Amino acid sequence: MYGTGIPLIIADFVKRADLSTAEYVFVVLTYGAYTGAVENMTYNILDAAGRVSDYITKVKMADNYLPIFSPRRVKNLRC
Ligand SMILES: Cc1cc2nc3c(=O)[nH]c(=O)nc-3n(C[C@H](O)[C@H](O)[C@H](O)COP(=O)(O)O)c2cc1C
């Protein structure tokens, strides 16, 4: 998720995708810190596309929002 929402490119993909023959729709949302109401947004986008998600989950990933997240300094990284 970007900016407490769904990245536009993903929202656009969901709107355009033909999911009419999909037996199940699973959604995996990745985030770095907090998710806000992203499940509701996902529901609304799918609903507008005429689908309901069968399952939604969230996975916490490394935060790549660089204005807030500070990556470790290279000297502190273990390779
Ligand atoms: C521009 C931008 C905005 C982001 N906004 C959020 C946010 O609102 N909440 C959050 O938890 N993570 C936020 N993140 C962190 C990403 O959701 C997280 O790191 C995710 O794993 C990155 O997925 P990606 O590899 O598809 O970019 C943001 C990252 C970027 C680059």
Q: What b/e sequence results for 34-54 when a residue is b if at least 16 CB atoms lie within 10 Å of its CB, and e otherwise?
A: ebeebeebbbebbeebebebe
Q: Which residue's CA is the nearest one to ligand 1's atom 17?
A: 31
pTM as predicted = 0.85
pLDDT at 6 over 70: yes
Residue 55 lies in a domain: yes
Q: Which residue's CA is the nearest one to ligand 1's atom 29?
A: 65
Residue 3 lies in a domain: no
Range of the domain at 34: 8-69
Q: Which residue's CA is the nearest one to ligand 1's atom 23?
A: 30
- pLDDT band, very low/low/confident/very high, at 7 (cuts 50, 70, 90): very high
Residue 60 lies in a domain: yes
Q: Return the closest-CA partner of residue 33 out of 4, 56, 70.
A: 4
- Specify the number of domains making up the chain: 1
User: What is the CA(3)–ligand 1 centre distance, in A?
Assistant: 7
Residue 77 lies in a domain: no
Please give the pLDDT value at position 79: 59
Please give the pLDDT value at position 74: 67
